[in-house]
Amino acid sequence: MPLAFSSTTHATIAFGYFNIEIDMLLLEQYFFFGPDFCRAVLDLDARGVRSHTDVTVPLEGWVISDRARAGNVNAAIRGWDLSGFIGATYERFPFPSHPEGFKQKPYGVRNQEWATEVIARYGAPVEIPMVWSARAGAVTIGEIGFTREQLAALVGYVDRGGYPRWESEQRPPHVADMVETLRLAHSPLAPPAGVQA
């Protein structure tokens, strides 16, 4: 589920997976798939963070500026309000009836086609710029700013499978590849070695 994270521009922001059956992340009004986020992080790290160079990396996604059209995660989980895009995901993939089923699924990529069709009814496609400033040691994703450490916290969340973590502690390939690449490169964005916590 999305959690609260610190930013340099918007104080506390929401970031994370919002349905355990879908590998889509939200960042405030932005929505994007996990593999696209992982690819963008690796590109940003290789061409900007570790090379100390200003760079802009595109992150393909959608924007839903109207909160009613986006939906409400907490209300959708409880089945109280299935409106908006998030509500539509819970209508299709309801919250599990047993607590042990509440784990982020590593196979969420297989539901991308469905999610892509549905989000088109609620939001607009957008290329979200991820802009790394070498001088500031900071990134903006869209208009939301993060220090390098704050960006690393978002990467750590994806590594864990957020809350409630990956089912059977099994990361999907795109996450495992991102983490391994960051660690081998000794990137400051890499989660600590030996930790999937």
Q: Is the pLDDT of residue 196 over 70?
A: no
pTM, rounded to two decimals: 0.95
Mean pLDDT of 42-70: 97
pLDDT tens sequence across 58-112: 999 999 999 999 999 999 999 999 999 999 999 999 999 998 999 999 999 999 9
- The C-alpha R_g of the chain, in whole angstroms, comes to 16
Cα separation, 23 vs 32, whole angstroms: 9
So what's the pLDDT on residue 192?
81
Helix (H) or strand (E) holding 24: strand 24-27
Full strand arrangement of the beta sheet holding 24-27 = 3-6, 12-17, 24-27, 30-33, 55-63, 124-133, 138-141, 144-147
pLDDT tens sequence across 23-39: 999 999 999 999 999 99
Burial level of 139, CB count in 10 A (0-12/13-18/19+)?
buried
Q: Is the pLDDT of residue 197 over 70?
A: no
Q: Is the pLDDT of residue 3 over 70?
A: yes
Burial level of 86, CB count in 10 A (0-12/13-18/19+)?
buried
State what percent of residues in the chain have pLDDT above 90.
94
Q: Residue ranges per domain, the chain?
A: 3-184
Residue 90 token pair: 């819970």
So what's the pLDDT on residue 194?
55
Residue 97 token pair: 């009836």
